[in-house]
Amino acid sequence: MSSADLPAPVPPRIRDRAVPADRPAAQRHDLGRYLRQMRLPQLGETGQRRLAGARVAVIGAGGLGAPALTYLAAAGIGEITLFDPDTVDATNLHRQVLFTEADLGRSKAVAAAEHLHAQSPPVSVRAVVETLTPANALGLLSGHDLVMDGTDNFPTRYLASDACEILDLPLVWGSILAFSGQVSVFWGAGGRGVTYRDVHPVPPRPGEVPSCAEAGVLGMLCGVIGSTMAMEAVKVLAGMGDVLFGRLALYDALRARWDELPLARDPQRLPVTEIEDVMLTCGLPGPTGPARDEVTAAQLPALLAAGTRVIDIREERELPEGGMIAGAEHVPMGELLRGADHEVAGAVLYCAAGTRSASTQRALAERGIRVRSLTGGFDGLAGSEVEIQRR
């Protein structure tokens, strides 16, 4: 039997839960509505009843939240709590397909709840026009069976992950930028499972990662990643398939290709026991210090000539298109983080644009290993004197 045939772990709170008997008759799901998906033996009536009894919290009704919410409601999730303090803007409409021009200026949470109720009357959708904060997150998320994070800012991502680890809730997470998307499912599982902090140990500095407003994003990419998030949520709740636990799915829209990275919990990381206000630290310089730990393209030839170790941390799939820096070695980011020791101290790391190498630099600094990051990454070498070795 392959791993894809094994049932996913169902959160204990809903494993044997049926639709509550005290729910109004109009909200007791007519299972005939879901007959097409119930014919799938992996789901069946048991899985459908689990979905009908599930309570899901969705953070954000934007590019990822809009398609994810649509499919969660259509699938028959019993109760959805939607958190979003924003209002609908004209620039949202090309990707947040849950809204129309009639919703401009309205609360996203309220407008989304109305549209979802019209689409799927059996589903209860509660709109919360409130920002999740370190002070209220545990209280607002408690009582749900699964949380979905479709936000686009780092403080909320860390907040959602930390709250879910404390509450022992599975967290479906997704991210998009330009033509690329990522999806994973985190579950602290009593201090044993992978969480967002294992993937991104240190919050990025301001401007280090561009927003969708700065870099742009295709609306269709939101549909791909948001729908995948809904799929993973249903798999967890119904107990079917091979869930993205310990794996990061990467989607490249331009190449129409999915790739995958294995994830592992950092054995040195202590379980989260209280909520940290990342807003207080996200804007501060990283632990590796100021720009002396960054290397420019102009400085790199001299460092190479002096024998400095240079490490390309991009994934294998990224290399054939542009080659590598001559004299560099290739160690993918995940592999480097899992096996790095003090022998890499002093090395210069580079990725495509400098974002991942800076993040890896800070993660290693927390272990007492000082490395340097190539500013602008491989893409920033155009016009420089750095020799490129084509593959």
Give catalytic residue positions. 212, 351
Alpha-carbon distance 255 to 343, whole Å? 36
Length of the chain: 391
Q: What is the CA radius of gyration of the chain?
A: 22
Asked whether 370 and 288 are in contact (CB, 8 A), the reply is yes
Alpha-carbon distance 94 to 55, whole Å? 29
Alpha-carbon distance 159 to 137, whole Å? 8
Closest listed residue to residue 362, CA positions, set 371, 374, 351, 350: 371
How many Å separate Cα 310 from the centre of its chain?
A: 29
Alpha-carbon distance 159 to 286, whole Å? 19
Residues near 165 by beta carbon (within 8 Å), at least 6 away in sequence: 186, 188, 195, 271, 272
Count how many Cα atoms sit within 13 Å of the Cα of residue 114 in the half-sphere of its side chain: 9
Asked whether 134 and 163 are in contact (CB, 8 A), the reply is no
Alpha-carbon distance 53 to 59, whole Å? 20
Alpha-carbon distance 106 to 84, whole Å? 12
Alpha-carbon distance 377 to 103, whole Å? 41
Alpha-carbon distance 294 to 205, whole Å? 14
Query: Which DSSP category does 217 fall into?
Result: B
Q: What are phi and psi of 56, to 5 degrees?
A: -120, 135
Asked whether 131 and 85 are in contact (CB, 8 A), the reply is yes
Cα dihedral 270→271→273→279 (10° resolution): 80
